[in-house]
Amino acid sequence: MITLDAVKKIFQTKDGAVNAVDHVDLSIEQGEIFGIIGYSGAGKSTLIRMLNMLERPTSGDVTVAGKNLSQLSNRELRKARQEISMIFQHFNLLWSRTVKENIAFPLEIAGVPKEERQKRVDELIKLVGLEGRGESYPSQLSGGQKQRVGIARALANNPKVLLCDEATSALDPKTTDSILNLLVEINQKLDLTIVLITHEMHVIRKICHRVAVMEDGRIVEQGPVLDVFRHPKEFITKDFVKQITEPEETTDMIKQLASEKPQSKIVQLTFVGGNAEQPVITDVIRKFDVQVNILQGKVSQTQNGPYGTLFIQLEGADQEVDEAVTYMNGQKVEVEVISYE
């Protein structure tokens, strides 16, 4: 559905050239929810804005739904953009228009007759769960409701692709979850391809099928979300995965326990599927002369199935503990001995 081929964007500034996007190749499938994660300044916004030519690449090709956007005339590009919609962090609504009028706006531009417009707006209001709010103005809505208007407006002309530019970054965690659920719902119902950029791994974990990690204008790692969670290769990816597996409280707790019992080993098990870790723990207790303390465990849902992490503390003679770790390494879990020295 979307391919980027050697795409570059260089901004000329008075302080010199900035390589915002540096030779990116990417391929996104029809019906996929594809996430791009990176810290501020990584080039995410520039990259996503090149997917609808809000930003033109300095070089390279962007192809969406079979059209090479770099080669289109302005008129052809306006038409292509009806198939590539976008939602934004700060919603970008028209404040003097009601919800209905905001949603109708792209239909007016596309020349859709009034009666058809009204029918379509009513459908969209229902689709995004804004029944009864059609006559409200944006200032009368919560953040989550404003983003629902943004989504309805973006879907008005039946796009093939929805681009989400930090669409939940201005929302609280609960509202974020409800908007993410809505995005999954429309992805499934409409077979819509969704590309999103974010700096939050939670967003990737919850809704994306695949993820690309961006740093200094480049894609440094990409793959199915579960694979990247299980085997993050780059340092930056490990850092992002820790947002999910190892919140600060966990780190503090582990440091404390490790200092109380310096001879013990703290091990993080990562597994895919609901109960994959249980037989491993049972086996370790049975086969080795070690004491296993379970410190913390968590299973999170992803679009590709459950993903879990478990922190355990192993106590016993050095050799027994080492053998237990070696044994676990050969099982269906990822094993990492945690050390904060």
Ligand X SMILES: Nc1ncnc2c1ncn2[C@@H]1O[C@H](COP(=O)(O)OP(=O)(O)OP(=O)(O)O)[C@@H](O)[C@H]1O
| Binding status of residue 42 toward ligand X by CB under 6 A | yes
What angle is formed at CA 303 by the lines to CA 267 and CA 42, rounded to 5 degrees? 75
Closest contact distance (angstroms) between CB of 8 and ligand X is 12
**Burial annotation 200-236 (CB, 10 A radius, 16+ → b, else e):** bbbbbbbbbbbbbbbbebbbbbbbebbebbbebeeeb
Handedness of CA 56, 163, 29, 160 (dihedral sign): negative
Residue 16 as a binder of ligand X (CB under 6 A): the answer is no
Number of residues that bind ligand X (CB under 6 A): 12
For the bound state, the minimum distance from the C-beta of residue 45 to ligand X, rounded and expressed in Å, comes to: 3
- Subset of residues 206 to 245 that bind ligand X, contact rule: CB under 6 A: none
What the block records as the tokens of 29 is: 């499938």
CB 313 within 8 A of CB 256: no
What would you measure as the largest C-alpha separation in the chain, in angstroms? 79
Binder among 6, 11, 17, 25 for ligand X (CB under 6 A)? 11
Counting contacts by CB under 6 A, is residue 150 touching ligand X?
Answer: no
Burial 276-306 (b: 16+ CB within 10 A, else e): bbeebbeebeeebebebeeebeeeeebbeee
- The residue range among 35-43, 148-156, 261-269, 317-325 that interacts with ligand X, by the rule CB under 6 A, is 35-43
Kindly state whether residue 279 participates in binding ligand X, applying the rule CB under 6 A.
no
Options 40, 73, 256, 263; binder of ligand X; rule CB under 6 A: 40
Least distance CB 165 / ligand X (angstroms): 8
Query: How buried is 100 (Cβ within 10 angstroms: 0-12 exposed, 13-18 middle, 19+ buried)?
Result: buried
Please tell me whether residue 18 binds ligand X under the rule CB under 6 A: yes
Residue 44 contacts ligand X per CB under 6 A: yes
Decide whether 41 or 274 has the Cβ nearer to ligand X.
Answer: 41
Candidate list 20, 80, 104, 155; residue touching ligand X; CB under 6 A: 20
Closest approach of ligand X to the CB of residue 341, in Å = 33
Strand locations in the chain (E): 2-13, 16-28, 33-37, 59-64, 67-68, 84-88, 161-165, 193-198, 210-215, 218-224, 265-272, 291-302, 305-315, 334-338
- Of 17, 41, 68, 332, which lies in the binding site for ligand X, with binding defined by CB under 6 A? 41
Using the minimum distance from each CB to ligand X, give the nearer residue, 11 or 191.
Answer: 11
Contact set for ligand X, span 306-335 (CB under 6 A) = none
Stretch that binds ligand X, among 39-47, 120-128, 267-275, 322-330 (CB under 6 A): 39-47
Q: Residue written as tokens 């976008």?
A: 86
Q: Which two tokens stand for residue 323?
A: 């053998």
C-alpha angle 249-240-195 in degrees, rounded to nearest 5: 135
Is 256 an interacting residue with respect to ligand X (CB under 6 A)?
Answer: no
Which among 42-50, 103-111, 135-143, 244-252 is the span making contact with ligand X, rule CB under 6 A? 42-50
SS3 243: helix
Report the alpha-carbon distance of residue 259 to residue 261 in Å, rounded: 5
Q: Which of 299, 219, 312 has the alpha carbon at shortest distance from 261? A: 312
| Nearer Cβ to ligand X (67/218) | 218
Q: Does 43 bind ligand X (CB under 6 A)?
A: yes
Residue 35 found at the interface with ligand X (CB under 6 A): no
In angstroms, how far is the first alpha carbon of the chain from the final one? 46
Q: Is residue 279 helix, strand or coil? A: helix
Specify the stretch interacting with ligand X by CB under 6 A; choose among 36-44, 70-78, 124-132, 312-320: 36-44
57 binds ligand X (CB under 6 A): no
Q: Which is nearer to ligand X, 44 or 265 (CB)?
A: 44
Q: Is 38 a residue that touches ligand X (CB under 6 A)?
A: yes
As measured in angstroms, the least distance from the Cβ of 113 to ligand X is 38
Residues that bind ligand X (CB under 6 A): 11, 13, 18, 20, 38, 40-46
